[in-house]
Structures are given as C-alpha cells and as structure tokens.
C-alpha cells in the first residue's frame, strides 16, 4: 500500500465507558486522506467523546485510535498535533488578544500564506479589531474556524462547528471544508444536522448511543431513499409496514416516514377512508436521523 | 512557553493585583506595630493577664525589641504565612482546576504541547504570580520603614532571605494545591489539601510553645522550615530550601504521572 493510500485515521473497536455509561461503543472505521467525514448524532451519541479521544484529551477504555500511523495516547498525542487543527464549539481563545493578532500568530506559526488569511477573513467576516474576550460567541467561533483552516493542516477536526454560527457563516464553513478537501486536507466534522454537513461530506457516519448505526458513502448520501407521508384525518389509522410515526402534536395530523416499496404505500393509501388531505415528500438524511431516535412506542408496523 | 506563562499571568491580573495589594497593606500594618509591640515586657499588665493561647500570637517577647527579629517573628512567622497560604491555595486552584474548567488545557493540548509541557507552563506561571506578591510585600515594607518610629534598620540580605524563604513556603503550598488539582481535576480536593497544609503548619508552629501535646508534630509543619527568626539572626539553612524543593518536586511528579492517565474535562 502506498504511503498516500494509507488511512489517515484508524478507529479499532474504540470504547469509552464512564462507570455504567458507554459513551462510545465498539466504534470501528477508518478515514482515508482527503475525505470529509461527518460524524452525526444527537446529544450524548458519542460525537464529542470521539473527538476528544482523537485529540488525546481522553483515553479509550478499550480499543485504539491511530493517526498518521501512530497510536494516540495521552503521552504521545501531541507529537501529531503539528499536522492537526482542532476547532470546537467551546474552544477557549486568549481573551487579551484581538482576533487579528491571534490569527496572525497562528498564521506565522503555520507559515500560512497571507492570501489564504485574506480569503478566509473575507469569507467569514469576523470582528478582528476588538479583544477576543469582548466578542460574541459567533465571532469567537469564526476566529476559531479561520485558525483551523490556516496553513491547511493535514487533518482538520471540527467538533460541532456550526453551533454558534449564523446561517450565512454555516454556508461559508461548508464551502471552506470542501475547498480544504480539494487541496488535500482531511476533515472530520461532527454535527447534529446531517443534511447540512452532507452537502460537503464525502461520507456520513451516524452515531446513536455511542455506536455506529450508519456509514454512508457519498453515493449513498446522494441516493437517499424513502418518503415522508403526512395525512390529515379524524379516523383511527394503523400505519403500514416499514413505517415509523413522527410526532406532530396534533391528533388530526398523522405523519410517518416510510422506507418500503412505493407501490405498496400507494396501495395502502388508496384503501384508506376518511382522509381529508395528504402530502408525500422525499425523505432526507435529517429524517433518517430523526427516525433513529424514535422510541419503539412511537413506531408502528416495523 | 513564555507566551503561555505571560498570558496565564495577565489573564489573572485582577486576582494577582488585589491579593498583592492586600498582602502589601497587611505587611505595612504589621510592620507599623513595631513601636507599640517593642515596648511590651513580661511585667506589662496586658501580658500578665493574657490567656496562654493568645501569647502564641505575640511569640517570644525578646524578639519584638529589635526590628529584624520583630519582622521575622510577627510578619514572617505568625501573621503573614496564614494569609499568604490562603492566597497560595487560591492561586494553585486558579492555575489547575479553574484553568481546566475554562477550557485552557484543551486549547493548549490541541497544539503540539505535551501534558508535561502544559503542567510546567502553568506551574511556572504560578511561581511568577507568587513572586509578584513577594515583590509587593517587599516594596510595601520599604515604603513603610521611614514612617516607623525607632530603629528600623534591616539588612537588605536579611530581608531578601526572609522574603525568599516565605516565597518558597508559599510556592510549596501552592504547588501542593496545584498538584492535587492537576492530578484529580477536583477543585474541592485541591483547596482542602492546600488549606489543610496551611492551617496545620500554622497551628503547629504557632501553638506548639504553649501546647506540648503538638510539639511532636513540628517536623511535619512546613512553617518550621521558614524558621524566620533563625534566618534573621543567622541566615538561611540550605537543608530547609532542600525540604521545600523536595516536597514540591515529589508532589509534582505524582501529579504529572496521574495527569497522564486521566481525561481532560471541558
């Protein structure tokens, strides 16, 4: 295997336990160079715990993580950090520095070209003249993200980077991730919003309760199947097979996701009585994500 | 390394400023009591009627007559170590648990900085913070001397020796607090440990002349190794410096090893 073909990161049965809680459960996957991988999951799905273990902030209870061919341990994690940029939603920056001063220090440290600095600042438009301690969380997050992309590190780890960003800045971030990947960087980004990251990701890994439940390639992302069906009726309706109910807050409005055969769905609809209105839409990744977190009581006909 | 130390110190400038000024004023106040306390004799009615435990706060009356031993006894043995010890505990907690909770450790460890490097940077900042306090105490004393009645001559080397030994004492207490904070990530444990060492040391050294039951614990009191009066009269004992450095080094080694195996919280 050529050097450039070797995975940049390997997760081998990585488990993290906190007493009785399994925050990460036997996670196994690898990341190839140049990939943009989205780790998607709800709260406490294990995303941030995985990110922490990648950076060496915490140790796996079991299993190993390798970055650039080196096992990540708390003793040795720092050795590969020269090639890694990390940005989290709660990254602390030096409060006494202005944004510009901080970014120029990062730029000098990573020998990043001034042109790249100008491009990123023009794109994200953070406040640079004020001290970081006086900035809003959104502006601080922009500075954190710019610093992560400066100099184009080999691996960029972003933990819920969209949390504090306005919608326009989220678009900028997705574009920046895509550009970074095109220039050879590998990006790992965690998010609660699969549809958002799917636009820039070559791969989506969905997590639930610390385990990998889906590992979708780019092709699978673009070919995502299924329907969302919304019915308006006062009748008591039993859902078909392969349907999972979605809460609506209204007894008249019945909504469910459907992953079975479309013809069978249409047949089932044609046999219903007392339907006042109906809407059928394609399912998105967000819907699949929501479907993962539906409790068994809410799911009929599965 | 320098930028992390400077940033850590500058980021705590209000804490350092307020505590340093407080210590300076406290030292000036104690020094200002010299004219009154130097006149005390055993036959003085206040001394004759004083409860036994309260005598501990005056110490040996003979030490009060000359300014160097007065400062050594009153300021550097009886009064300042307790206050400075609490300040050292606060600093130690700020540079360990509080820094970790603010996310500073994660930001630094995301760089090519090892955990050992992080511990050394923050410990260095802690030592610098305490040095700033000692400089303020020294400046406060020198500013007060011209206004105190009587012979307030004290050799520069003697004052520096006293300040140096007390600084080592404060650094050791701060290091213990810092080390417990680094090792466990628990603020309460760190503060309890630091306060326990401070109060134990102070109580044993101050009250042992009047409470024979605790005399046997004197070797375990860190304040014994400041030995301020001995320093004022005869100079610094190298063995005492070794003890302070040894305690600090031992706690730091244990803390660094433990720090390597625990998770960094956020």
pLDDT at residue B1 in the model: 47
Q: Cβ of B110 and A81 within 8 Å?
A: yes
Segment B151-184, tens digit of pLDDT = 888 999 999 999 999 999 999 999 999 999 999 9
For residue B105, is it within any domain?
yes
Are B88 and B170 spatial neighbours (Cβ–Cβ below 8 Å)?
A: yes
Q: Which residues of A touch chain B, with CB atoms under 8 Å apart?
A: 52, 55-59, 74-75, 77-79, 81-82, 84, 86, 88, 90-96
Of B104, B107, B112, which is closest to A78 when you measure between CB atoms?
B112
- Of B112, B261, B263, nearest to A81 by CB-CB distance is B112
* Sign of the alpha-carbon torsion through B13, B15, B18, B21: negative
A84 vs B contacts (CB less than 8 Å): 110
| Mean pLDDT, chain A, whole residue set | 88
Query: Measured between CB atoms, does B14 come within 8 Å of chain A?
Result: no
Q: What is the ipTM of this complex?
A: 0.83
Choose the mutation target among A57, A70, A76 for the interface with B, i.e. most B CBs under 10 Å.
A57
CB contact under 8 A, A92 and B260: no
Minimum mean pLDDT range among A89-93, A236-240, A280-284, B100-104: A280-284
Query: What is the model's pTM?
Result: 0.86
pLDDT at B231 over 60: yes
Q: What are phi and psi of A213, to 5 degrees?
A: -105, -25
How far apart, in whole angstroms, are the C-alpha atoms of residue B80 and residue B165?
12
Query: Can you spell out the DSSP letters for B51-85?
Result: -HHHHTTT--GGGGSSHHHHIIIIIIIIIHHHHHH
Cross-chain residue pair A57–B107, CB shorter than 8 Å: no
Cα A243 from chain centre: 26
Spell out the residues 6+ positions from residue A219 whose beta carbon is closer than 8 angstroms to its own.
none
Residue A293 has pLDDT above 70, yes or no: no
Instruction: Point out the residue among A57, A78, A90 whose CB comes nearest to the CB of B114.
Output: A78
Say if B176 falls within a structural domain.
Answer: yes
Our count of domains for chain B comes to 1
Does residue B242 fall inside a structural domain?
yes
The residues, any chain, with a CB within 8 Å of residue A256's CB and separated by 6 or more, are A228, A229, A239, A243, A244, A245, A246, A300
Report pLDDT for A260.
Answer: 84
Tens-place pLDDT, residues A245-278: 777 777 788 888 888 888 999 999 999 988 999 9
Q: How far apart are CA A191 and CA A285, in angstroms?
A: 12
**Residue B127 lies inside a defined structural domain of this protein:** yes
pLDDT value for A149? 95
Across A41-54, average pLDDT? 91
> Does residue B266 sit within a domain?
no
Q: Which domain holds residue B65?
A: 2-261
- Candidates A79, A88, A96; nearest CB to B10: A96
User: A74: distance to nearest CA of chain B, Å?
Assistant: 6
Q: What percent of chain B lies above the pLDDT cut of 90?
A: 80
Phi, psi of A158 (to 5 degrees): -120, 115
């Amino acid at each position: 295997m050529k050097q450039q073909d070797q995975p940049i990161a390997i997760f081998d049965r990585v488990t993290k336990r906190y007493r009785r809680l399994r925050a990460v459960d036997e996670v196994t996957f690898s990341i190839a160079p140049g990939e943009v991988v989205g780790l998607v999951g709800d709260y406490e799905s294990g995303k941030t715990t995985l990110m922490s273990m990648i950076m060496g902030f915490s140790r796996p209870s079991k299993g190993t993580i390798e970055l650039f061919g080196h096992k990540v341990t708390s003793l040795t994690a720092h050795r590969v950090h020269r090639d890694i940029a990390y940005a989290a939603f709660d990254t602390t920056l030096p409060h006494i520095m202005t944004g510009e001063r901080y970014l120029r220090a990062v730029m000098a440290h990573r020998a990043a070209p001034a042109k790249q600095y100008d491009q990123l600042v023009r794109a994200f438009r953070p406040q640079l003249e004020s001290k970081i301690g006086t900035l809003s969380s959104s502006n601080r997050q922009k500075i954190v993200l710019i610093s992560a992309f400066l100099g184009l590190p080999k691996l960029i780890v972003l933990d819920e980077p969209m949390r504090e960003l306005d919608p326009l800045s989220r678009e900028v971030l997705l574009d920046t991730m895509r550009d970074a990947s095109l220039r050879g960087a590998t990006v790992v980004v965690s998010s609660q919003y699969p549809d958002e990251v799917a636009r820039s990701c070559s791969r989506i890994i969905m997590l639930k309760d610390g385990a990998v439940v889906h590992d979708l390639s780019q092709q699978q992302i673009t070919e995502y199947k299924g329907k969302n069906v919304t019915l308006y009726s006062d009748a008591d309706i039993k859902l078909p097979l392969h349907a999972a109910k979605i809460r609506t807050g209204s007894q008249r409005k019945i909504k469910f996701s459907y992953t079975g055969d479309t013809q069978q769905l249409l047949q089932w609809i044609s046999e219903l009585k007392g339907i006042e209105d109906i809407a059928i839409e394609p399912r998105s990744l967000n819907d699949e994500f929501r479907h993962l977190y539906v409790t068994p009581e809410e799911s009929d006909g599965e | 390394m320098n930028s992390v130390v400077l940033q850590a110190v500058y980021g705590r400038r209000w804490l350092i400023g307020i505590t340093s000024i407080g210590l300076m004023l406290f030292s000036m106040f104690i020094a200002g009591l010299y004219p009154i306390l130097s006149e005390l004799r055993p036959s003085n009615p206040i001394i004759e009627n004083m409860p036994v435990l309260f005598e501990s706060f005056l110490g040996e009356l003979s030490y009060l007559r000359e300014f160097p031993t007065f400062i050594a006894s009153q300021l550097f043995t009886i009064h300042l170590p307790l206050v400075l010890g609490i300040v050292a505990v606060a600093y130690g907690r700020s540079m360990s648990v509080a820094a970790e909770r603010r996310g500073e450790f994660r930001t630094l460890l995301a760089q090519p900085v090892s955990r050992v490097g992080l511990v050394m940077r923050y410990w260095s900042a802690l030592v610098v913070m305490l040095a700033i306090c000692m400089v303020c105490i020294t400046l406060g004393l020198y500013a007060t001397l011209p206004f105190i009645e009587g012979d307030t001559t004290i050799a520069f080397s003697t004052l520096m020796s006293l300040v140096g030994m007390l600084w080592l004492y404060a650094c050791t207490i701060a290091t213990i607090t810092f080390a417990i904070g680094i090792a466990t990530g628990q603020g309460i444990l760190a503060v309890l440990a630091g306060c326990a060492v401070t109060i134990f040391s102070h109580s044993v050294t101050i009250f042992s002349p009047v409470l024979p039951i605790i005399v046997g614990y004197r070797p375990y009191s860190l304040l014994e190794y400041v030995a301020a009066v001995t320093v004022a009269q005869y100079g610094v004992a190298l063995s005492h410096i070794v003890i302070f450095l040894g305690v600090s080094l031992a706690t730091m080694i244990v803390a660094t090893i433990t720090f390597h195996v625990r998770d960094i919280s956020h």
